[in-house]
Amino acid sequence: MGPAVLFFLVLVAASLLPSTAQPWRYPHYPNNTTNLSTVWTNNGKFSFYNSSAVRPILQGLSPEQDPELPGFAFVAGFICPLTPTCDMSLFAIFIVHVYAGILERFYPVQVVWCANRASPVGENATLELTTDGNLVLRDADGSHVWSSNTSGQSVAGMLITKIGNLVLFDHKNATVWQSFDHPTDTLVLGQSLQEGTRLIAST
């Protein structure tokens, strides 16, 4: 085998290796805020090497937007184990590693909050921030899975903060509902456990 052929084979083999970084584009760089009457569908995901598949919806500030942040960002979206069907998806808040605007796919995704841990949804499930301010998760067949129960409470939009708090806010930017008040099994820096709430380990 000549040197030229060997060099070509090395290039081909390298191209087949899993990429450790991918531009964060789905369908564009995720915002940290959204308005009412918005629907997201659980499809078209990013894959993380040997980890999970995610469909980002909102992303908190990233290190290049706030130099005081470490090399990761909080994201709200759909996440599922990396399987061909991806039929066990959760609507969750999770941590991804970001460097210079590039998603580092080699690092595992860490979930810090989940809405439907006991009731995963399938491909083409939807999350909707309705016109009356309710955040609703439905499976692909339209069945109700989870909601924030905030209909009629003057919700104007939704955001995720740089410390990983998913917030529904009103026209005065006051908090109507926040994920920090409904922890699952994890507390993040800046979050406190309110009286009457508890952490429940996943099984």
Domain range 19-181, CATH architecture:
Orthogonal Prism (2.90)
Q: Answer whether residue 5 shows pLDDT above 90.
A: no
pTM of the full structure: 0.77
pLDDT in tens, 168-181: 999 999 999 999 98
Condensed to tens digits (0 to 9), the pLDDT of residues 63-109 reads 555 555 567 788 999 998 766 667 789 999 998 887 766 667 778 88
Confidence (pLDDT) at 59: 84
Q: What is the pLDDT of residues 137-152, one digit of tens each?
A: 999 999 999 999 999 9
Q: What is the DSSP string of the chain?
A: --HHHHHHHHHHHHHHSPPSEEE--SSSSPPSEEESSEEEES-S-EE-TTSEEEEEEEE---TTT-TTS-SEEEEEEEEEES-SS--SBEEEEEEEEEETTEEETTSPPEEEEES-TTS-B-TT-EEEE-TTS-EEEE-TT--EEEE---TTS-EEEEEE-TTS-EEEEETT--EEEEGGGS--S---TT----TT-------
pLDDT band at 33 (very low <50, low <70, confident <90, very high): confident
Domain ranges of the chain: 19-181
Higher pLDDT among residues 130 and 198, named by residue: 130
